[in-house]
Amino acid sequence: MDPGKLSYALGALLFITTRIAFAQAPQEPPPPAAPAGPEEPTRPSQPTPPADRVPAPAPVAAPAPAAPPAPAGPAAPPAPVTQRLGDASLTLYGDIDLYLNVMHSSSGKNIVAIQDGAILRSRVGLRGGIELGDGFKGNFVVEQGINATSGAPADTTRLFDRQAWAGLVTPVGEFRVGRQNTEVFLRGGAIDYGERTLGAVINAFGVPSRYDSDLVYISPRLSGLQAVGHYSLQGSAVDSPTQQRVYQVALDFERGPVRVGYARVAGKPAPATPVQRIVTYDNFYGNLKYGAAKAYLVYIRSNNNGPNGELFNGSSPLGNTGALIAGTDIGAETYYNIYQVSADYTLTQALRVGALYGWIRDSSGSGKNASGGSLGAFYGFRNIKLFLLADRLANDPKAGFRISGSAGLTKPFTAADDVNGRTFTGVQIGFVFRF
């Protein structure tokens, strides 16, 4: 895609939002809200009761004595740019994630570079919704990834590469259609202290992130349990709507300090191709919060990794950003077991520290194994998060996994001699600015 066209389109979105804001004052004050992370799905809210069912106001009690002021903490982050027009809302949001990456390969080569997307790929997005009454609500999201080091679009073939969907919230759940994030991708915050991004061993393996033409149902959360189902018609052909199907299922249970769940992505290759193996990514996860501490456990079983040119690892038969399974990647014949343990601790209201360790094990016995870990600290104030990370990933002689962030490194090691069988160590310092 022509970057000039991208700039024009995003500028038009911002112009429309600003014109709406000045054209009509909001009919009611916008509700205060922290900026919802676009990495998390919008789950169905409780239906608003009709006006004739709203309980009468309770009797006014005598004012209680004023309590002493609470200790001052970090200021609440500002809300995104939201304009309300009656029952409708329109929100412009985004983030810039930049960091300095200093990384060493045991080959002797080094990287010293400004990179994009350690925790969140930089992006700009527009989301909106309208109350339809009787517990129904229409909503939509369009979102474009950006390489903040250069201003270029993250995907030059698309305008809204990250998300582009519309949905309907109903009393029995939410329905969506369009380009959407996978359930595996959306559960990063439940997987480890760093939200399954830079420094996570799981992230070095690769994560199927989103698909086109995706039909989704999201159930209400009942007694702590929520179910989600996806079916992508992206590869449909005449008289063959399941030619290259991709489906997902997920269950998530959360109650009190405990959260456990399972998410699966599975893709069928094109017919009459040499590798007819269905590619799967099965993710089991759990975490437990105890006071200021939180512990995480994750297990993944997947054949979504294969050789990439001269590199022993690096391809993703399922595609990390929506490519369908071509049925030509011999990596689909090799299954891996991935284990990761993690914990974090909240030292103050603004400061959190964490650590993790993980293993990638080639269950075929061909020796494509790796292990590694990371330490991290995060300091947040208002809409800025500062972070400092130290990470390590060690490949066995026949493995070639690389450290990766929310976005792949814009300046990675690419030579086979710098990757295959090598150990990587790195330190990263940066920030995420959210608006």
**93: pLDDT strictly greater than 90:** yes
- pLDDT tens per residue across span 368-420: 999 999 999 999 999 999 999 999 999 999 999 999 998 888 899 999 999 99
pLDDT of residue 288: 98
Residue 47 in domain: no
Residue 325 in domain: yes
Residue 410 in domain: yes
**241: pLDDT strictly greater than 80:** no
- How far apart CA 228 and CA 75 sit, in angstroms, is 35
Rounded to two decimals, what is the model's pTM? Answer: 0.81
Question: pLDDT band for position 319 (50/70/90)?
Answer: confident
> Domain of 148: which CATH number?
2.40.160.10
pLDDT of residue 321: 75
pLDDT of residue 76: 52
Please answer whether residues 275 and 269 qualify as being in contact, where contact means their C-beta atoms are separated by less than 8 angstroms: yes
- pLDDT tens per residue across span 329-339: 898 999 999 99
* Number of Cβ within a 10 Å radius of residue 29: 7
Residue 346 in domain: yes
Distances (CA, A) of 292 to 57, 343, 380, 393: 38, 11, 16, 28
- How far apart CA 86 and CA 83 sit, in angstroms, is 10
**209: pLDDT strictly greater than 60:** yes
Average pLDDT, the chain: 84
Question: pLDDT band for position 3 (50/70/90)?
Answer: very low
- How far apart CA 60 and CA 355 sit, in angstroms, is 50
What average pLDDT does this structure show over 68-95? Answer: 70
* Number of Cβ within a 10 Å radius of residue 116: 26
**7: pLDDT strictly greater than 80:** no
154-178 burial, b at 16+ Cβ within 10 Å, e below that, comes to: bbeebebbbbbbebebbeebbebeb
What are 49's two structure tokens?
Answer: 């009761």
Residue 124 in domain: yes
Residue 51 in domain: no
- pLDDT tens per residue across span 96-149: 999 999 999 999 999 999 999 999 999 999 999 999 999 999 999 999 999 999
pLDDT of residue 240: 66
Residue 426 in domain: yes
Residue 317 in domain: yes
Number of domains within the chain: 1
pLDDT of residue 272: 83
Q: What angle do CA 40, 43, 44 make, to 5 degrees?
A: 165
**69: pLDDT strictly greater than 60:** no
pLDDT of residue 78: 58
Range of the domain at 298: 3-30+81-434
